[in-house]
Structure 1
Amino acid sequence: MNLWIVVMGLVLYLVFIGGFSAKDSRSPNVVNIGAIFSFGTISGRVAKIAMNAAVEDVNSDPSVLGGRKLVLSTHDSNYSGFLGIIGGLQFMETDTVAIIGPQDSGMAHILSHLANELHVPMLSFTALDPSLSSLQYPYFVQTAPNDLFQVTAIADMISYFSYKEVVAIYSDDEQHRGTMIALGDKLAERRCRISYKAVLSPAGLANRSEITNELVKVSMMESRVIIVHAYAVIGRKVFDLARELKMTGRGYVWIATSWLSTVMESTPLFGEDAKSIQGVITFRPHTPDSKRKTAFLSRWDRISNGSIGLNAYGLYAYDTVWTIANAVKVFLDRGGNISFTNKPNLDGLGQGKLNLGALSMFDGGSQLLDNILRTNMTGLTGKVSFGPDKSVFRPAFDILNIVPKGYKQIGYWSNYSGLSVVPPEILYTRQRNRSSSSQLLDRVVWPGQTTVKPRGWVFPHNGRQLRIGVPDRVSFKAFVSKDETTNEIHGYCIDIFLAAINLLPYAVPHKFVLFGDGHKNPSYSELVRMITSNVFDAVVGDIAIVTDRTKIVDFTQPYIESGLVVVAPARKLNSSAWTFLRPFTPLMWAVTGENTTSTLGRMVLIIWLFVVLIITSSYTASLTSILTVQQLAPSIRGIDSLITSNDRIGFQVGSFAENYLSNELNIAKSRLVPLGSPEEYADALERGRVAAVVDERPYALPRDSPLATDMSTAILTLSENGELQKIHNKWLNTRACGQPSSEDSDQLQLKSFWGLFLLCGIACFFALLVYFSLMVRKFKRYFPYVSEPSTPSSSKSIRIKRFLSFVDEKEEESKNKLKRKRLEMLSRGSGEDHQSPNGSRRTNSGTTDQDRHNGNIYFC
């Protein structure tokens, strides 16, 4: 900024050499305003037509300025900051009440200092550098949403599509440099970043060779999300050359700021120019539909003679003129007088060659500025008003997607509700909702004419492999270790990493690099230094161990972020899902007499009752144990309880946990106990040497790495298809870890009851065997009497059928016998004979006449 002030001084010296004569324009019937633009640009051409139309409309309504005439003077800066500054000085010398412009932020920074001194409000809808809205420039007002809101919209969209890194291509000037700084800040808030900045020379200086060289560098980068923020003349060159370099096809994501929508609306592209921007996403200041806007659009062809199309900034140009006119109206209605006086500190400087005395201060400038900031009207762009920070009312943008026949709108962004497919003016009537579920956009047609969202990154095309750091440890060998014979690196973590890499839909060239001397565990601090200094791209194998004798008791968010895992002793519980057995009592009939069938049934029943009793008792005891242990709350509930206690704390040798516990948490080093292996963990916890172990939980990939999401998805797939468990069984089973079996002997398993089931099975088989033998014996005994003479008794099939029929008959007779015995018991109670259902008489002995007739008499 100091350099610009020096430049301004030189400009003043060159301009005012030989004196600077003032023009008397202090007519009481004239209100002078000025406009500084490069009228050869698209924005300049559209703005000039729109501003002249607004001046015509103001002057046609005598109620606005009370018969005064609004005069607009224009100055063409012709792409030159030097000429733009001269134009500003000329306006401030000729009693101009307000200036529209300048067009770019570089000139605005300089002219704003003059505006501050001479109290001349400056209003711009194209110089949108976020820093221009600061308190440093009180007389500079941005009448369109400044770039801070546009980069916020871009950052929200990048976060919506889950991209983490972008490449920025922009012109190295005040118009674009400040915006890129703001974009970096907004991306950082969403845990994204600009991975590379392709800086181009300002407009008019960037040639094809320079742009091509930068695009080649971009093509070698990892990110495929590219943001272009430049003047239209440079932006169009960027896309044309990118198409020649095959960078506008599938896999790329191109985002252009509002310059592209301005070009598309005012001078539609055709042919090769149109092909180079297919699939690009761009932004346009949102202006709600209205009758006034529709009428102005229909009027545009006439006032522009069809020379150029109307864009959003043309609407803001029209409203800016009306904003000044209404502010002047309020100023005059309140008795204000348009007058100018020489500043005291400039008085007397007009006698020399540098005639600064010609510059005069607008006496009512402060009041006019206040009226402008208090504007409350409805224009072509909707409601026109300003907030406490001088920003426009409810900034919003349309999000456009370039397609073969022009562009389509895929959504909106507003500072009120973020991304949506509903117009902001509708959302303003609803309760504000910025939840992630409410952020929506329509389907995008990406470069290459595909609707499949690009991944947004690739491995750099520079032949470099992914460098995977592997700790050369003396413990936890099952997780990662080097084979001393073949020098190959293998282990549980290595196998998971390789299995996940193989599931990715793209190749990941990589190599494992050992760090550490193999005689002691490497330092975690050294590992972090190697990652931050780009020695390693990722780390495999440095993970925390939680054995089956411990449980995690603290996973609170702050300590997850710091990478801590608190491991404390815990009573081991059965991991199986317990089922509750509903107790039951078998229903038994009291049967007098002791035949063979009843004896066998009773024997089997007694054995089954014995089995059920043991199983029920065992489950009851286990359930009681579970409920009892659940009531035993551990004394250590997390890192906070460790800090407040005086207990000793274990940590892994070489872990960052030691320094973190002592330096960050202020725990005395005398309380810290170094441990080097899972066996030492278990021993220290069981013997009470330590109350808990604080271990490390480092991430395998750098934070926000684009590979992290794909790797996490791949590992989840391994878990779902069972491969993860197979790898676990391979490396971390009983023999591999040297740990006791995960199935403790005090846990109830199916095999715990094998003896009972064997005993019950033998009893059932024996009872069945005895019963079958008895049936065969009786069958042989009665066979001659029940067989028919005409049927060959030698037929095996007939014998089998008759044997089964015999068994059924005997079963029915047994049931009848039970019935008779019940009736006999009842008849004994009454002392009388009873008539049987078939009409035969039943005696007190329980037999009937029919029984005697049939010969079916059984003695019990």
Structure 2
Amino acid sequence: MKLLLVVSWIRVLCVVVCLWSTMASEDVHVGAIFSLDTINGRVSKFAMEAAVADINSDPSILGGRTLSLQIHDSNYSGFLSIMGALQFMKTDIVAIIGPQSSVMAPVLSHLANELHVPLLSFTALDPTLSPIQYPYFFQTAPNDLFQMTAIAEMVSYYGWAQVIAIYTDEEQSRNGITALGDKLTERRCKISYKAVLPPDIRPRGMMNLVVQELVKVKMMESRVLVVNTLSAYGPIILRAAKLLGMLEDGYVWIATAWLPTILDSRPLPDIFDMAQGLITLRPHTPDSQRKKEFTARWNQLSKGAIGLNVYGLYAYDTVWLLARAIKAFLKEGNNISFSNDPALTAIGGGSMNLSALSIFDGGNQLVQTIEETNMTGLTGPIWYDSNRFLVNPSFDVINIVGNQMRQIGYWSNYSGLSVVAPEILRSRPQNRSSASQKLYSVVWPGGAKKKPRGWVFPRDGRKLRIGVPRRVSFQEFVSEDKHTRGAHGYVIDVFLAAVKLLPYAVPCEFIFFGDGHQNPSYTDLVTRITTGVSRNAVSYSLLELSV
């Protein structure tokens, strides 16, 4: 009897060991969707593969399981992104890293919602991608809302009232500019004009459209230009601006993170040449020993094919974030299992074999685990707040000078603009006073050291019509020049001096009234203005009385 009991226990133990061995040796499948011919696509591929290798070299991370990464090249195509996601869903994957573009994020998020597969993207940073609408979608780099807040605070810091937004008409760029407009309004500033370019300006013939739109911009009042686009399109906009002489003294150019993405990975002399004096932003990643070691490994990892940019760091951390979440998921006793989608089974697979798509049974639990994961990566501390924003968003503020990206300060949601690193300021009491906001000096376009006033008199703008009396007495205050027919005198001098101090343009035209033989009646003029009798009088101002 005892012998039979022992044999039974041995059999049970063997079965358990075999099952554990089988489970431990299973691969954990993860997909990734990127355009591998882009800068971020190439950098991300090397970084993600390095993260997978590092995770698999440590058996304690996934309990002996192997993390398997399958990368699908979407080749700039939304259709291929969808097809790649569908293919992944047939191979029992637990998560997808991507998409690279915000254009595809809503489409793939609907698919993820149906099949319970988390999506993690460090480049699709559209401010409108809400976790309420897309509960399986995570942004693993700072949302563009914070980058637009940083730009709005810089505009306010330098005392400019208006900006012109230049952007390509795709989701991330367009929605980013909408967020910028909201943040500027909070600071009593505004976007005076939106220069909207086609979604893809690379095809031949598109350069002419870009030039035509920038010609309109050049005719306008504001000289503060914000360019929000993708790294593939930014240089095209700068080439058109250079052709029109818009990269010279008097202009202010603020570029979003697309510019450092290019210069970090492909520091080409012609890009530096066009970008002289520009201000740009790059997500801030604190210095650390791990970051230094990874940077030192980069040439070996990439075989010298491309330089490391900040999104390579986010790519590496995204894989680690997912691995740590899977570890916690398994440690809680959850299993990686899949089942058929009843909705797809009911309608039949058809030629597309949709019935082969599987629901990840533990998808909801994995989402919760990702939300609760708290780790420190190459990019610094990583965890989510109650709105599913990454905590402590911050940016480097950079000025392009010569062939260098000169750092002039930082922006963070905690301290605003500063010359002290955000991680240092977070250890101090919060100080958001205007006196605490500071950046180092800037070399502006054209080599100017003095801050541009940010506006010029528009060539086609509507003028303020100023009523000037033809006085007989006290002509030293205001009178009409008999030769030039212009206005001069003390009042005119004071008025023009005041106009020059305004932070925006006020083009004006002096309109004389009265016959010059006797002082005109102000009462008569005001009566004509209010009754609409006097031609164009509705736009007059009484210069002498107002001054």
The interval holding the TM-score normalised by the smaller chain is 0.7 to 0.9
Give secondary structure in 1 for the equivalent of 2:225: strand
Q: Is the 8 A contact 2:272 2:403 kept in 1?
A: no
For residues 386 and 503 of structure 2, the distance between their equivalents in structure 1, rounded to whole angstroms, comes to: 51
Structure 2 residue aligned with 1:417:
415
Structure 2 residue aligned with 1:237:
236
Equivalent of residue 69 in structure 2, options 69, 72, 82: 72
- Counterpart of 2:303 in structure 1: which amino acid? N
Deviating more after overlay: 274-283 vs 432-441:
274-283
Structure 2 residue aligned with 1:310:
308
Q: Is the 8 A contact 1:166 1:193 kept in 2?
A: yes
Residue 31 of structure 1 deviates from its aligned partner by: 0.5
- Counterpart of 1:381 in structure 2: which amino acid? T
1:64-105 deviation digits (Å, cap 9, x = unpaired): 101111000011111111111111121122211100000010
Equivalent of residue 103 in structure 2, options 94, 101, 106: 106
Structure 2 residue aligned with 1:246:
245
Larger relative contact order (C-alpha < 8 A, sep ≥ 6)?
2
For residues 175 and 339 of structure 1, the distance between their equivalents in structure 2, rounded to whole angstroms, comes to: 34
- Counterpart of 2:173 in structure 1: which amino acid? H
Give secondary structure in 1 for the equivalent of 2:343: coil
Give secondary structure in 1 for the equivalent of 2:220: coil
Structure 1 residue aligned with 2:346:
348
Structure 1 residues 348 and 296 mapped into 2: Cα distance closer, same or farther (>3 Å)? same
Give secondary structure in 2 for the equivalent of 1:72: strand
Give secondary structure in 1 for the equivalent of 2:406: strand
Q: Is the 8 A contact 2:25 2:64 kept in 1?
A: no
For residues 505 and 455 of structure 2, the distance between their equivalents in structure 1, rounded to whole angstroms, comes to: 13
For residues 309 and 541 of structure 2, the distance between their equivalents in structure 1, rounded to whole angstroms, comes to: 52
Q: Is the 8 A contact 1:50 1:314 kept in 2?
A: yes
Structure 2 residue aligned with 1:93:
90
For residues 108 and 149 of structure 1, the distance between their equivalents in structure 2, rounded to whole angstroms, comes to: 19
Q: Is the 8 A contact 2:478 2:490 kept in 1?
A: no
For residues 503 and 371 of structure 2, the distance between their equivalents in structure 1, rounded to whole angstroms, comes to: 56
Structure 1 residue aligned with 2:138:
141
Structure 1 residues 50 and 495 mapped into 2: Cα distance closer, same or farther (>3 Å)? closer
For residues 504 and 315 of structure 2, the distance between their equivalents in structure 1, rounded to whole angstroms, comes to: 50
Residue 233 of structure 1 deviates from its aligned partner by: 2.2
Q: Normalised by the size of structure 1, how large is the TM-score?
A: 0.55
Are 1:189 and 2:186 matched, yes or no?
Answer: yes
Structure 1 residues 522 and 378 mapped into 2: Cα distance closer, same or farther (>3 Å)? farther
1:434-457 deviation digits (Å, cap 9, x = unpaired): 100000000111111121111111
Q: Is the 8 A contact 2:25 2:66 kept in 1?
A: no
1:94-141 deviation digits (Å, cap 9, x = unpaired): 211100000010100111111111111100000000011341111110
For residues 128 and 506 of structure 1, the distance between their equivalents in structure 2, rounded to whole angstroms, comes to: 33
For residues 295 and 85 of structure 2, the distance between their equivalents in structure 1, rounded to whole angstroms, comes to: 31
Equivalent of residue 338 in structure 1, options 336, 339, 343: 336
Structure 2 residue aligned with 1:171:
168
Deviating more after overlay: 387-396 vs 87-96:
87-96
Aligned pairs (5 A) from 1:765-804: none
- Counterpart of 2:91 in structure 1: which amino acid? T
Residue 249 of structure 1 deviates from its aligned partner by: 1.0
For residues 399 and 80 of structure 1, the distance between their equivalents in structure 2, rounded to whole angstroms, comes to: 33
Deviating more after overlay: 424-433 vs 349-358:
349-358
Residue 343 of structure 1 deviates from its aligned partner by: 2.2
Aligned pairs (5 A) from 1:227-376: 227-270=226-269, 272-353=270-351, 355-376=353-374
Q: Is the 8 A contact 1:133 1:391 kept in 2?
A: no
Residue 482 of structure 1 deviates from its aligned partner by: 11
Give secondary structure in 1 for the equivalent of 2:355: helix
Equivalent of residue 431 in structure 1, options 429, 432, 445: 429
For residues 101 and 236 of structure 1, the distance between their equivalents in structure 2, rounded to whole angstroms, comes to: 24
Max Rg structure: 1
Residue ranges of structure 1 left out of the alignment (5+ in a row): 1-25, 544-699, 701-727, 729-860
Q: Is the 8 A contact 1:385 1:392 kept in 2?
A: yes
Structure 1 residues 452 and 519 mapped into 2: Cα distance closer, same or farther (>3 Å)? closer
Structure 2 residue aligned with 1:826:
none
Give secondary structure in 1 for the equivalent of 2:408: strand
For residues 377 and 296 of structure 2, the distance between their equivalents in structure 1, rounded to whole angstroms, comes to: 16
Q: Is the 8 A contact 1:282 1:399 kept in 2?
A: yes
Structure 1 residues 253 and 380 mapped into 2: Cα distance closer, same or farther (>3 Å)? same
Q: Is the 8 A contact 1:494 1:540 kept in 2?
A: no
Structure 1 residues 539 and 427 mapped into 2: Cα distance closer, same or farther (>3 Å)? farther
Residue 211 of structure 1 deviates from its aligned partner by: 1.0
Equivalent of residue 33 in structure 1, options 19, 27, 30: 30
1:217-237 deviation digits (Å, cap 9, x = unpaired): 111111111111112221101
For residues 504 and 140 of structure 2, the distance between their equivalents in structure 1, rounded to whole angstroms, comes to: 48
- Counterpart of 1:44 in structure 2: which amino acid? G
1:727-763 deviation digits (Å, cap 9, x = unpaired): x8xxxxxxxxxxxxxxxxxxxxxxxxxxxxxxxxxxx
For residues 525 and 133 of structure 1, the distance between their equivalents in structure 2, rounded to whole angstroms, comes to: 54
For residues 61 and 265 of structure 2, the distance between their equivalents in structure 1, rounded to whole angstroms, comes to: 31
Aligned pairs (5 A) from 1:827-838: none
For residues 151 and 125 of structure 2, the distance between their equivalents in structure 1, rounded to whole angstroms, comes to: 16
Aligned pairs (5 A) from 1:182-221: 182-203=179-200, 204-205=202-203, 207-221=206-220
Identity %: 56
- Counterpart of 1:412 in structure 2: which amino acid? Y
Structure 1 residues 387 and 525 mapped into 2: Cα distance closer, same or farther (>3 Å)? farther
For residues 504 and 129 of structure 2, the distance between their equivalents in structure 1, rounded to whole angstroms, comes to: 46
Alignment length, in residue pairs?
505
Give secondary structure in 2 for the equivalent of 1:511: strand
Q: Is the 8 A contact 1:467 1:513 kept in 2?
A: no
Are 1:62 and 2:62 matched, yes or no?
Answer: no
Structure 1 residues 98 and 539 mapped into 2: Cα distance closer, same or farther (>3 Å)? farther
Residue 324 of structure 1 deviates from its aligned partner by: 0.6
For residues 356 and 334 of structure 1, the distance between their equivalents in structure 2, rounded to whole angstroms, comes to: 32
Aligned pairs (5 A) from 1:653-802: none
Residue 256 of structure 1 deviates from its aligned partner by: 0.5
Are 1:153 and 2:150 matched, yes or no?
Answer: yes
Give the CA RMSD over aligned residues. 3.2
For residues 185 and 497 of structure 1, the distance between their equivalents in structure 2, rounded to whole angstroms, comes to: 33
Structure 1 residue aligned with 2:123:
126
